[in-house]
Structure 1
Amino acid sequence: MSIFVDAPELSTYIDTMSEATTLAAAAASSDPAVGLRAVRALRRLLERLEEVQVANARERGWSWQAIADELGVSRQAVHQKHNRKRR
């Protein structure tokens, strides 16, 4: 699996990966409060990343089925989740 990032998006990608690394480390904390807050933040980050990548795929002409296949979900699930955000 390879991940390609367009040059203009590189800075955002690096910032996001840095944030993910920091949060993943915090999620392993022995302090439950720190760990749980990190898990919550990772969920939000994951949702943002999915939104960006689904929008990117749609802009490039990907079908809902192709996106669903890559995410490992049904076409209906991905369409319902992301199509309503574009209205």
Structure 2
Amino acid sequence: MTNDLAGLVRQAQDDDPLLALRATTSLRHELERLEAVAVRRARVAGLPWAQIADAIGVSKQAVHKKYGKR
């Protein structure tokens, strides 16, 4: 299985359901990693939790619970 995002997106649309599921899982993990990096960068830049939460479409409490202890 390829590791680049474009390749994973293509595989997620594959006719083979197992290949599509594996690619979808890999995409989810990579997106979660990218989101964590972006949240960390936003906090280092001094952005408040409320603004970060708004940017990703969740409550301030949800984003703080997920990323606040890291």
Q: Deviations over 1:33-65 (max 9, x none)?
A: 100000000110010001000000000000000
Which of 18, 21, 26 is matched with 1:33 structurally? 18
Aligned to 1:71: 56
User: Following superposition, which runs of at least 4 residues in structure 1 exceed 2 angstroms of deviation?
Assistant: none
Which has a greater percent of helix?
A: 1
CA RMSD between the two structures: 1.1
Distance 2:4 2:24 in 1: 12
Q: Cα offset for 1:20?
A: 1.2
TM-score in terms of structure 2 length: 0.93
Distance 1:75 1:20 in 2: 29
Q: Cα offset for 1:81?
A: 0.1
TM-score in terms of structure 1 length: 0.75
Q: Residue type of the partner of 2:58?
A: V
Unaligned runs of 5+ in 1: 1-17
Percent identity at matched positions?
Answer: 47
Unaligned runs of 5+ in 2: none
**Higher relative contact order (CA closer than 8 Å, sequence separation 6+):** 2
Aligned residues: 68
